[in-house]
Structure 1
Amino acid sequence: MTMTEVTKDPTTALDGAPEIQYTIPGMKLADGAQVVKNLQERLNALTDLHLTLKHVHWNVVGPNFIGVHEMIDPQVDAVREMADSVAERIAAMGGSPVGTPGHLVSQRSWEDYSIGRAGTTEHLGALDLVYQGVIADYRAAIESVGEIDPITEDMLIDHSTDLEQFHWFVRAHLENAGGQVSSAGATSEVQAAAQAGDKRFGV
C-alpha cells in the first residue's frame, strides 16, 4: 500500500497552515484537505465549547446550583474526548491539528461566551443558544464530508448524538409543561439568559 501521491498543485488545508502532503489511502488529496478543513473547524468549536462549559460549571449560582454544577462536568469531559478524537483524525489524514488559543480566537466566527457569575437558569438559557450553534454547524459538517469520507462522517454523527443529548439536558431545565422553551427566539446569549431568568415564564 502506498500513500496518495502529492500533485503538482498541493492543496492548502487551512489558511496559514502547511499544505498536506498525503492523506488516507484511496482518497484524493484535495478531498482529504477539505475534510481536514472541516475537522479543524469542529476542533475549534469543541475546544471553545469545553472551555465554555467549564466556565459555566464554575460560575453558576442560586437555586438548583448543585444539580446544574454536577450536570455540566460530564459534558466537559465528553466534549474534551470529542476534541481529542477530531484532532487525531486530522493527524491521521495528513493534517496538523491546531489547538492553540491564538489560532482558535483568530479562526472562530463567534465571540467569547458573555455571561459571568449568574443564576442557573440564566446560564442554561445562554447555553441553549451555544448548543444550537454547535449542533447546527456539526450537521453542516456531516453533510459536507458525507460523500467524501464515511469514516469521518460516522465519527461526527457519534459526536452529534451526544451533543444533541446534552442540549436536551439543558433545554429540559428551560421547558414548561406545555413544551415551551424560555430562551426560544433569542439571538444573543444575553437575551437568552434574560428570557430564561424571566419569572413570568413560569418554569
Structure 2
Amino acid sequence: MAKDLTPKYTVPGLEREAAGRLIGVLRLRLHALNDLHLTLKHVHWNVVGPHFIAVHEMIDPQVDRVRDMADDVAERIAALGGVAQGTPGALVEERKWQDYSIGRDSAIAHLGALDVVYTGLIEGVRGAVKEVGDLDPATEDLLIEQLRDLEQFQWFVRAHLETANGTLATAEAGTEREAAARGAALD
C-alpha cells in the first residue's frame, strides 16, 4: 500500500492531492540523487590506473552539482508541504535499484559502470518530467534543468568510452559489471 503523501497545505494555486503526487515523484528523485552523490564519491575514492587523475578530478564537480540538485529537490518537497526524507534508511527502503556493484577498479571500468548508472537515472528523470508536466510547471522546470546537467555528465563519462569511429564500448551492456568489463577492455 502506497503512503499518502498529501500535505496539509501546499503552494498557492496547486491542489493538495496534486502536491502529494509531486512529493511522491520528488521523493524518488531525492533518493536517486543522494545515491548518485554517494556512488560518485565511491568512484572518486576507488579509481586506479593510468586514467586515475583525469577521472578523479572529473568526478568532484559532478558530486558538488548532484548535492545541489538534491538540496533543490528536498527544498521543493518542503515548499509543497511534504517531508524531505533524506535518511539512508528511507533511501534504501524506497529505492527501486540495487547498490553500485564495482569496488576498486580501473578508472575506465568505473566509467563503464557509471554510464549504466547515468542511463538509469536519466530515464527516471525523463519519466518524472512527463509525470509532473501537467501538474506543476515549477517542478517540471526544476527537473528539466537537472536533466540537462545529468545528460552532460553522462556525455563526459561516455567521451572516455567512445572509440574514434563513434562506437560506445558500453552500448549493449545491461549491467554495471558488464559495462565495467567493456570499459576496462578499452584500457
**Is TM (by shorter chain) over 0.5?**
yes
Query: Per-residue CA shift, 1:27-82, capped at 9, x if unaligned?
Result: 11111110111111100000000100000000000011101000000000000000
Letter in 2 for 1:168: W
Between the aligned partners of 2:16 and 2:78, the Cα distance in structure 1 is 14
TM-score (norm 2): 0.97
Tell me which of 111, 114, 121 is aligned to 1:124.
Answer: 111
| SS of aligned partner of 1:88 | helix
Query: 8 Å contact 2:5–2:24 — kept in the other structure?
Result: no
Match of 1:26 in 2: 13
Structure 2: gaps spanning 5 or more residues? none
Letter in 2 for 1:72: I
Q: CA deviation at 1:177?
A: 1.0
1:192 pairs with 2:175: no
| RMSD (Å) for aligned C-alpha atoms | 1.4
| SS of aligned partner of 2:68 | helix
Between the aligned partners of 2:182 and 2:59, the Cα distance in structure 1 is 21
1:114 pairs with 2:110: no
Match of 1:44 in 2: 31
Q: CA deviation at 1:18?
A: 6.2
Q: CA deviation at 1:127?
A: 0.1
Structure number with higher relative contact order (C-alpha < 8 Å, ≥ 6 residues apart): 2
Count of matched residue positions in the alignment of Structure 1 and Structure 2: 187
Match of 1:9 in 2: none
Which structure carries more helix by proportion? 2
| SS of aligned partner of 1:104 | helix
Query: Per-residue CA shift, 1:149-200, capped at 9, x if unaligned?
Result: 000111111101100000000000000011111111111111110111114x
Match of 2:41 in 1: 54
Letter in 2 for 1:135: I
Residues 142-181 of structure 1 mapped to structure 2, 5 A cutoff: 142-181=129-168
Match of 2:62 in 1: 75
TM-score (norm 1): 0.89
